[in-house]
Structure formats: C-alpha cells, structure tokens
C-alpha cells in the first residue's frame, strides 16, 4: 500500500458511518448505494463515494445490473480483514548520495533569513525565513538537528568562496552517517533561496 492508498483508506475508515456501512456489506449478499443510504439515513453521494473508494482499494467488488433499462452497481464485500501496511523502503535515500557532496554552496546574499545559534555558540539551532509579501508575509521557522546545525555554522558567508558540501561537513566534524540529512537540508535551503549553489568555473 502506498501513501495515496493509505490516505484514501484512512480518510474513509475514520468516518463515523464506516463501521455501519461495512456491517451492511457483511450482512447483505450485495447492496446498492441507494439501499445502503436509505437504510442508514445517509446522503446517497456519501455512500457512493465510500463504496467507490473501497472498490478502488480492492475491498469490494461490484456488478452492474439493470432495472427498467437503468444501470446501477451492486456492491459486495471481498475481504474479511483489512490490513494497512506501508512500505517505507522507497523513502530511504539512495545508499550513494552521488554528487550531493560535491555541490559548492554558500549563503545567498540578501536571503533575508535569520540564523539562530545555540547557547554555546557552536551550531545553528534554527533558521527563520520570511515568505510572502506585505501583510501576507509569514515567518517560517526550521528547527535543525545538531549535525545540520554544525554544518550550517560553517556555511561560507555570501561574499566568501563557496565550498563543497563534503568539505563543509569535514570542517564541521559532521560524520558521514548524517550525509542524507545534510543533503536534504541543503537542497531545501537552496529551493528557499537561503543557500546558493555555485557552479565550478573553468580551470
């Protein structure tokens, strides 16, 4: 089950009428949307959306039948147990970060971000970024892990020579086990305009 399917299942399972609809499906050999809606005093679209979602997830089967030349579906339960299982393996970063460590970066000039240092002034604890314009401006605060904070504490200033991510990690004493989270925050800050990537010039 992927996240879209899990979200779909969760959104309908959480409804207060879900148990009653499943009870009807378990009781009847097959049931139509209108029959179920009238039995439980629910809006027909509410039941229609539920049945179609459960059909899409594979928990129901449906049969098109005709009554006075007007087709409609009858639904029946296919399973007696629903198990939600999410595979998180695809979310893990690749074993080899690739060229991520070779990205040459520095703080972007006029980024407008506020870096807050730790009490002992050895790492950055958070970054505040303003988004929007005028009255719609809002502050977004990103709390950093300690390895990320140590990394950004050694981020070159806007006018300084850019450094590769790997070199900054080495200078900051950040171990390789934290590479994926360093690459993650680096890419996020580049997208937000706080950090800039500087291409290597010709030799």
Q: What is the CATH number of the domain that holds 31?
A: 1.10.10.10
Domain residues for 12? 3-77
Percent of residues, the chain, with pLDDT higher than 90: 69
User: Looking at the predicted structure, is the pLDDT value of residue 55 above 80?
Assistant: yes
**pLDDT given for residue 47 in this prediction:** 96
N-terminal to C-terminal alpha carbon distance within the chain = 50
Residues 69 and 106 in one domain: no
Closest Cα to residue 159, out of 196, 190, 192?
Answer: 196
Per the prediction, the chain carries an average pLDDT of 90
**pLDDT given for residue 67 in this prediction:** 76
Q: How many domains does the chain have?
A: 2
């Amino acid at each position: 089950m992927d996240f879209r399917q899990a979200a779909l299942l969760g959104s309908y399972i959480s409804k207060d009428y879900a148990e009653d609809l499943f009870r009807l499906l378990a009781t009847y050999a097959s049931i139509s949307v209108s029959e179920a809606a009238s039995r439980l005093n629910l809006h027909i679209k509410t039941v229609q959306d539920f049945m179609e979602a459960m059909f899409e997830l594979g928990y129901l089967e449906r049969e098109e039948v005709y009554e006075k030349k007007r087709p409609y579906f009858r639904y029946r339960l296919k399973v007696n147990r629903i198990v939600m299982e999410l595979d998180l393996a695809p979310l893990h970063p690749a074993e080899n970060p690739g060229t991520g460590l070779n990205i040459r970066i520095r703080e972007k000039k006029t980024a407008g971000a506020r870096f807050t240092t730790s009490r002992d002034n050895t790492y950055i604890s958070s970054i505040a970024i303003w988004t929007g314009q005028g009255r719609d401006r809002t502050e977004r605060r990103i709390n950093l892990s300690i390895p990320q904070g140590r990394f950004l504490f050694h981020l070159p200033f806007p006018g300084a020579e850019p450094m590769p991510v790997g070199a900054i990690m080495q200078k900051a004493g950040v171990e390789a086990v934290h590479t994926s989270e360093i690459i993650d925050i680096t890419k996020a800050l580049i997208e937000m305009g706080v950090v800039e990537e500087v291409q290597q010039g010709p030799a």
